[in-house]
Structure 1
């Protein structure tokens, strides 16, 4: 069977010399200090680093959720750092997917309505076959009429993953997607992200602090002091843990 590593093709997202500073003058803090990276189709990348390393800032800049001080981010052929607010909002809605630690579901909507929300905001009807594929793969068929308060944390996060994938995004960005979940629910969500990469050639970029979560990825990028300081291919939990111990020590 061909693995996602062998299938990975041209870059679908590229960061070039990203700098992100907050504040001015002597009070300025540099969260990113010249980060460059490529993310390819059908590839699962985990981003790790000590607290304050810039990993979440990097993800937010890549996803167009934060502005950069200098450098560029390209999604496909589009330099998103040059887009106006309206164009950027449209690109995020139409071409990117997001999964956050806090689920970000609308409490008054059912699971099905939450899953369909992004497409409907863009004036598009979901592909019924693709909707069924995602819902069944995530085990949500019996929960479609439930509202978030009627679901467990793991079920809510699976709804958030389904919502992110329904529009077939070029990149799915996940920021600590298992941070609010128990180990079993977290493993279910990570297992589906792995399946999305292997079976649907989805590109996933995930920030995590958990070596066990990072082991689901094809590679791990390590950040420290706003710079990429290492990369690990075919990670295992033990290898990631050892690398993090060195960085934190």
Structure 2
């Protein structure tokens, strides 16, 4: 992977290493991972438990610091930034969708959605706000607090919050993990639509071959290293590839 490829991608890892602990207790969660994630594409990261998939996403998103190697997001080498600069990048250039929704219970849906922009000192794009609220089907739920919303509605609020800032990348960590199958399929469809209709870049960690089949590409990890990829994934192709990765451990 050349430097031009690294800079052209939405986000890239170059020789990324992450070690937890030290001495005999050290765990090498990432072991020299180099991978690029294209712009306006939906990529899933998969692998067996302990493969390093969540660690990779956290390092790409600036939620965790790498032991060595580089992360380049939108042309900016985030692994070289100070804590203050990294916080600014997370606020302004990254969107997050987590399994647990991470909505503040005392705020209404609209207040939760606007919060990251307010923290970054940015104005809300009204046209985009209205389009997202309509597309996500929550226009009539914006005045409600999280406890008054279903799980699927809460995840739609979280997705709108992530998309409203027009981030370089939306990172989704098991976004359907707390949803029933119908709500999960709807959220995955909306992530897919954000790529096709808004040109959004989405990187998602999942363990579910069906969820991964919504992506354009699946990146496989095993024991902290790249273990292949699946293009134009289907649930069967993803399950087969995961089986091979697991068998090779």
TM-score (norm 2): 0.95
Residue 246 of structure 1: CA displacement?
A: 2.0
Alignment length (residue pairs): 241
Residue 105 of structure 1: CA displacement?
A: 0.2
Residue 62 of structure 1: CA displacement?
A: 0.2
Match of 1:229 among 224, 227, 230: 227
Structure 1 unmatched runs, 5+: 1-8
Rounded Cα–Cα distance in structure 2 between residues aligned with 1:142 and 1:153: 16
Instruction: Describe the superposition over 1:161-192 as per-residue Cα deviations: whole angstroms up to 9, x where unpaired.
Output: 00000000000000000001000000010000
Rounded Cα–Cα distance in structure 1 between residues aligned with 2:245 and 2:39: 29
Instruction: Describe the superposition over 1:73-111 as per-residue Cα deviations: whole angstroms up to 9, x where unpaired.
Output: 001221101111110000000001001000000000111
- Residue number in structure 1 paired with 2:8: 10
Residue 125 of structure 1: CA displacement?
A: 1.5
Structure 2 residue 181 is matched with structure 1 residue 177: no
Task: Indicate the SS of the match to 1:81.
Answer: helix
Structure 2 unmatched runs, 5+: 1-6
- Residue number in structure 2 paired with 1:5: none
Residue 142 of structure 1: CA displacement?
A: 1.0
Residue 14 of structure 1: CA displacement?
A: 1.1
CA RMSD of superposed structures (Å): 1.0
The runs of at least 4 consecutive aligned structure 1 residues that moved more than 3 Å come to none
Residue 247 of structure 1: CA displacement?
A: 2.1
- Residue number in structure 1 paired with 2:74: 76
Rounded Cα–Cα distance in structure 2 between residues aligned with 1:35 and 1:214: 20
Rounded Cα–Cα distance in structure 2 between residues aligned with 1:25 and 1:123: 44
Rounded Cα–Cα distance in structure 1 between residues aligned with 2:63 and 2:120: 18
TM-score (norm 1): 0.95
- Residue number in structure 2 paired with 1:32: 30
- Residue number in structure 1 paired with 2:104: 106
- Residue number in structure 1 paired with 2:200: 202
